[in-house]
């Protein structure tokens, strides 16, 4: 039972740490594999103005920049022509959703293998269909061009409202046609059961829905550099030049984003480590309780050992080693159980999201950290039972001998 308690504690600790490592690994890989060498943002949801002209000016630098794409993001809550009812209160509210505007032809340059990509290195999606119209025709002649009325929606949203390719979707009293669906890690079918959706449409049409035609506002710009300028030194030089021209914008290279994501995930690591450490301490306290009970039952044994000349130090070391044997055996079993258990969870999340991503990660540092934590705490907690056994007086112990 003692070994089982330690094993369960170790398995939980390893599982929590592997999830934290998986989050960090996926975030880093998304950025490293991304074609977004530089991302430009500004304060506020619509902080970058004259978005179409800004993109065109960037594309003129053909020596350094191979592609540029604008993105506009907004909260669609209250704009969708869909209501939801909370069964517990019977209260009807507008369906919540995130709206994203892009120029499809520009965004095509940033698509990864099999249509997988990441918006802002955060929202990774996999498309089954794409837009029929690649440009942004509504922007022509000061937003008087034709509407494409095309939207893509996530599959969880489609399933919830029984929508599919060819269905209609009303947004702010304007009717759009669903061109296709996509899956995401955040909202993959069956992964998370919440009333939330994602809608992707043409940039100028989203701007018109939000009355942003006058400012031509966008949220961010992604830039892909030419092959000879993707190294760290060149990308930073280009980013610095853009920053000098637009001092009020935030310009980040891949290296900047990697540093930022590592800082953000420190909290996630601390959270998962704390949860795992609590379970580990519970298991080790169980070890201490069992050892104290064992010492009480073995009082006569310690009396005889002391009577024949065995020192307190030897008894102390004996009990400490016995405790550590339980801890180490349980830790090894827990490592194995935690490895297979978290892998099973990762496979489930991979299947649920529909994306080929590993949600857990194992590193030598993780395994060493887990072992050191449990052995260190196990040693400290085992000191009390060992001290309690060693301090027993010979005469008191001999009274129990029959």
Query: If you write DSSP's letter for every residue of 369-397 in order, what string do you get?
Result: HHHHHHHHHHHHHHHHHHHHHHT--HHHH
Q: Within its chain, how far is the Cα of 274 from the centroid?
A: 17
Q: Are 9 and 283 in contact (CB under 8 A)?
A: yes
Query: If you write DSSP's letter for every residue of 148-198 in order, what string do you get?
Result: --EEEEEHHHHHHTT--TT-EEEETTEEEEEEEEEEETTT-TTT---SEEE
When pLDDT is averaged across residues 287-309 and rounded to a whole number, the result is 73
pLDDT at 316: 83
Tell me how far apart the alpha carbons of residues 389 and 380 are, in angstroms, rounded to a whole number.
15
The two tokens of residue 52 are 């179409």
The two tokens of residue 305 are 């050992």
Handedness of CA 316, 321, 324, 325 (dihedral sign): negative
pLDDT at 392: 66
pLDDT at 141: 93
pLDDT at 143: 95
Q: Is pTM, for the whole model, over 0.85?
A: no
Estimate the crossing angle of helix 254-297 against helix 2-33, to 10 degrees.
180
Query: 245: buried, middle or exposed (CB in 10 Å: 19+, 13-18, 0-12)?
Result: exposed
Whole-number average pLDDT of the chain: 80
Q: Are 159 and 187 in contact (CB under 8 A)?
A: no
pLDDT at 248 over 80: yes
pLDDT 10s digits, 176-228: 999 999 887 654 444 444 567 889 999 999 999 999 999 999 999 999 999 98
For residue 271, give the H/E element and its range. Answer: helix 254-297
Q: Are 224 and 59 in contact (CB under 8 A)?
A: no
When pLDDT is averaged across residues 258-281 and rounded to a whole number, the result is 73
List phi, psi (to 5°) of 159.
-65, -40
Tell me how far apart the alpha carbons of residues 391 and 304 are, in angstroms, rounded to a whole number.
14
Q: Within its chain, how far is the Cα of 149 from the centroid?
A: 33
pLDDT at 66 over 80: yes
pLDDT 10s digits, 4-61: 777 777 787 777 778 777 777 777 777 777 888 999 999 877 889 999 999 999 999 9
For residue 55, CA distances in Å to 60, 217, 297, 332 come to 9, 12, 79, 56
- Count of C-beta atoms within a 10 Å radius of residue 52: 16
Tell me how far apart the alpha carbons of residues 84 and 70 are, in angstroms, rounded to a whole number.
32
């Amino acid at each position: 039972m003692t070994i089982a308690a330690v094993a369960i504690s170790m398995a939980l600790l390893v599982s929590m740490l592997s999830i934290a490592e998986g989050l960090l690994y996926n975030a880093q890989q998304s950025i490293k594999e991304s074609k977004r060498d530089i991302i430009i943002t500004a304060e506020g949801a619509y902080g970058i103005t004259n978005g179409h002209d800004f993109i065109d000016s960037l594309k003129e630098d053909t020596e350094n920049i191979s592609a540029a794409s604008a993105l506009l993001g907004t909260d669609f809550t209250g704009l969708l022509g869909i209501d939801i009812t909370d069964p517990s209160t019977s209260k009807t509210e507008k369906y919540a959703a995130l709206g994203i505007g892009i120029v499809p032809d520009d965004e095509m340059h940033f698509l990864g293998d099999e249509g997988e990509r990441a918006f802002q290195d955060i929202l990774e999606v996999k498309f089954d269909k794409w837009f029929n119209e690649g440009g942004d025709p509504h922007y022509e002649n000061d937003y008087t061009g034709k509407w494409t009325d095309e939207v893509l929606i996530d599959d969880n949203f489609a399933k919830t409202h029984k929508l599919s390719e060819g269905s209609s979707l009303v947004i702010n009293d304007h009717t759009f046609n669903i061109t296709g669906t996509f899956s995401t890690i955040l909202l993959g079918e069956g992964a998370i059961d919440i009333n939330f959706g994602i809608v992707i449409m043409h940039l100028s049409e989203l701007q018109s829905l939000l009355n942003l035609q006058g400012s031509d506002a966008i949220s961010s710009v992604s830039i892909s550099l030419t092959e000879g300028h993707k190294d760290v030194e060149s990308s930073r030089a280009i980013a610095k030049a853009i920053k000098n021209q637009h001092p009020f914008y935030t310009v980040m290279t891949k290296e900047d984003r990697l540093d930022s994501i590592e800082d953000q995930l420190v909290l996630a690591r601390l959270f998962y480590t704390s949860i795992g450490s609590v379970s580990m301490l519970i298991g080790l306290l169980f070890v201490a309780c069992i050892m104290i009970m064992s010492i009480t039952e073995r009082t006569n044994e310690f009396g005889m050992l002391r009577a024949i000349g065995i020192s307190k130090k030897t008894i102390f070391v004996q009990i400490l080693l016995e405790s550590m044997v339980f801890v180490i055996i349980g830790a090894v079993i827990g490592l194995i159980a935690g490895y297979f258990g978290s892998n099973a969870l990762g496979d489930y999340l991979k299947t649920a999201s529909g994306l080929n991503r590993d949600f857990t990660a194992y590193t030598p540092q993780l395994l060493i950290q887990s072992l050191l934590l449990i052995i260190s705490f196990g040693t400290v907690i085992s000191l009390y039972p060992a001290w309690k056994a060693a301090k027993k007086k010979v005469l008191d112990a001999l009274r129990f001998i029959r």
